[in-house]
Amino acid sequence: MNGLIYAFLAIGAAFNALGAVALIRFPDVYTRIHGATKCTTFGSLFSILAVAVYGIVQGGGAGGTMAVRAFLALVFLLLTNPTGSHALARAAHRSGIKPFRAVVDRLEEAGHGPRATDHGPRETR
Amino acid sequence: MIVALPFAVAGLAMLGFIFVCMVRLGIGPTAADRAVALDTINTLVVATMVLLGAAFNQVVLLDVALVYALLSYVGTLYIARYLERGLS
Amino acid sequence: MRRVAEWTTTALLVFALYLVFSAFSGRWGLWAPDELLAGAVIALLVGLATGPLVWKRGGWRLLQPQRWLLFLVYLVGPFLYAMAKANLDVAWRVITGRINPGIVRFNPNLQTDVGRTFLANSITLTPGTLTMDVDDATGDFFVHWINVKDASPTADAVCGPFPRWARRVAE
């Protein structure tokens, strides 16, 4: 069981590192959301699974509580993370940020693009 | 007191990744970039808290991580709403 | 009558969640009496406050047990595989920096809110795609695709078998 825990911890750390690097290296907001959301969700999933396995191995009241709470944290992350990133992507598009070197932008064509009277916060690039 | 060393090491590594994300929080050219960096940091903080809860054998830290996950989600949604249409 | 059914179902679900949360709090791995009391009061309040919101537009179908089984199969099978592939894909793009992004539009023919949410979250966590907006009236999805092969794709070209899974699990 210890081998399993070490493997989960290593996978989790590796993919979280990849998420942080993707956040630095990608060229615009949307690609950054891609990298950061996918990689940190996957990495955190394995980190938290390692803790859940550790709790089950320990057993008893304390270990069981740890496993159950870790599992609940996992479920919440898996449900809330993609929804939050979806909201951020839509907000970025509506606040007027163009996708970097996009070959096609159907969302702007459909009239859901930035509004004419925009009161949102703007920073010039 | 640390009772499970591998979890503590993993938690320390996560702190390093959080600092890497803070670079983007500082230099991000638009407000949306900063919001994305903050969202990523929130996820990493939840994972770090769970790992440190196992490392120090404190179940309380896992409860804090649960509440933090839900509250940071609400915070992200409000920031997104603010970026979309301002304070209204 | 319908209102009462909505309240009680929501309250029961919240109470079940609270039972999971507070397991191992009493003797022999069972629940402590004060935890049960607090859980009952909280479940009642939450059920009264949010009952009518939870079961809008076809939400009742989620109570069928065979859908939960299908959902578990989906989670450990195609979803986990696609998620692992997505992460390796991101790793490759971080190293080579080769991207060809764009926002495409397609219609997966999903009617209920639950089905659309399910598909949107699946798309966000799987290779190269990120849901940006959903048109409430027509059900069109706007997806940021990191490697555009076709400016007006079909649903299958973008997200593979996921619309079929969404229909099976959530509609």
- pLDDT tens column, A93-123: 888 777 777 677 777 767 655 444 444 444 4
Nearest CA in chain A to C121: A82
Question: Rounded to whole angstroms, how far apart are CA atoms B77 and B52?
Answer: 27
pLDDT at C8: 86
Nearest to C116 by CA among A115, A82, B86, A44: A82
What subunits touch chain A, counting only 3 or more CB pairs under 8 A? B, C
pLDDT at B88: 60
Question: Rounded to whole angstroms, how far apart are CA atoms B4 and A56?
Answer: 14
| Number of separate domains in chain C | 2
* Distance from the first to the final alpha carbon of chain A: 51
How do the pLDDT tens digits run along chain C, 171 residues long? 777 888 888 888 889 888 888 887 777 767 888 888 888 999 999 988 887 777 776 667 777 788 888 888 888 888 888 888 888 888 888 888 788 888 888 888 888 888 888 888 888 888 888 888 888 888 888 888 888 877 777 777 777 788 888 888 877
Render pLDDT for B28-50 as a digit per residue (tens, 0 to 9).
788 889 999 999 999 999 999 99
B80/chain A closest Cα distance in angstroms: 5
What subunits touch chain B, counting only 3 or more CB pairs under 8 A? A
Nearest CA in chain C to A70: C21
* Dihedral in degrees, nearest 10, Cα atoms C84, C87, C88, C89: 120
Question: Rounded to whole angstroms, how far apart are CA atoms B5 and B75?
Answer: 33
Which pair of structure tokens corresponds to residue C69? 């089984």
Given a contact cutoff of 8 angstroms between Cβ atoms, the answer to whether B83 and B64 are in contact is no
Q: Which of C55, C75, C99 is the last residue of a domain?
A: C55
CA-based angle A92:C165:A99, to the nearest 5? 20
- Cβ neighbours of residue A112 under 8 Å, at least 6 residues apart? A93, A94, C133, C142
Nearest CA in chain A to C19: A68
pLDDT at C103: 85
Given a cut of 50, the residues of chain A with pLDDT beneath it are 114-125
Sheet of C141-145, strands arranged across:
C102-106, C141-145, C129-134
C99 with C34, same domain? Answer: no
pLDDT at A119: 42
Partner-chain residue, chosen from C103, C124, C128, that has the shortest CB–CB distance to A105: C103
Q: What is the DSSP letter of C102?
A: E
CB atoms within 10 A of CB C39: 19
* Residue A121 phi, psi (nearest 5): -70, 135
The range of the structural domain enclosing residue C117 comes to: 63-170
Alpha-helical regions (H) of chain C: 2-21, 33-54, 65-74, 80-96, 113-125, 155-159, 162-170
C24 with C99, same domain? Answer: no
Partner-chain residue, chosen from B14, B69, B83, that has the shortest CB–CB distance to A91: B83
